[in-house]
Structure 1
Amino acid sequence: YYGGTNFGRTGASYVLTGYYDEGPVDEYGMPKAPKYGHLRDLHNVIKSYSRAFLEGKQSFELLGQGYEARNFEIPEEKLCLAFISNNNTGEDGTVNFRGDKYYIPSRSVSILADCKHVVYNTKR
């Protein structure tokens, strides 16, 4: 059975065609803001730093109660990408990571390019 906007013979009897309302595209394939743009930006960051994921050394750091960092780094090329997460359900917070302070909203992840500059946050 097919979902979505299927008209005519591709739809089956007793099958409701429809898309998930919270998806990044609608049933006609048109982008739905803001989710489409948010996912596009995430994809661009990950694609830009794919070498760090595939070839870099992975490390893990606890930064405090509910805060953690996962780093992907190629030190000889000074290529680094860090994911700092705040797993606390109700409180935003500031963490100290490699000598700098970063504001991390609750239940979110911030991605730091070069392990220094926030280029993406899952709540913004």
Structure 2
Amino acid sequence: MKSPVPVVCAIIVRDERVMIAQRPPDKKLGGLWEFPGGKVEPGETAEAALHRELHEELGCTVCITQALEPFAHAYPWGSIELIPFLCELTAESAEPHPHEHTALAWVERSQLQAYELAPADVPLLTVLI
């Protein structure tokens, strides 16, 4: 059995709102919303992967405020180990732009349940709400 693929995600908080990103329709889990991030490359730390992915996907920089407990999630095509981080945009960061997503939304924590989230991200709602 293959080891879970390590995947980082950023829960970016600004003014009591959390940013979520909508996956493109032509990708796995297309149309679902997620906390942005991506796979950790071999030899890369989770923190370095988070900064790289956010720069590539959103063109922004963050400061990590808290590392949350990683957990495993099994999809039909394979398992991931999700490594979540609470973050804030840095003062010098550009405004996030959806380079690899269909849309971005800043959502009040209490409203996150109204969005159809990627299944691996759903357990994070218990931490956020």
Using the size of structure 2 for normalisation, the TM-score is 0.23
Identify the structure with bigger relative contact order (alpha carbons < 8 Å, sequence gap 6+).
2
Using the size of structure 1 for normalisation, the TM-score is 0.24
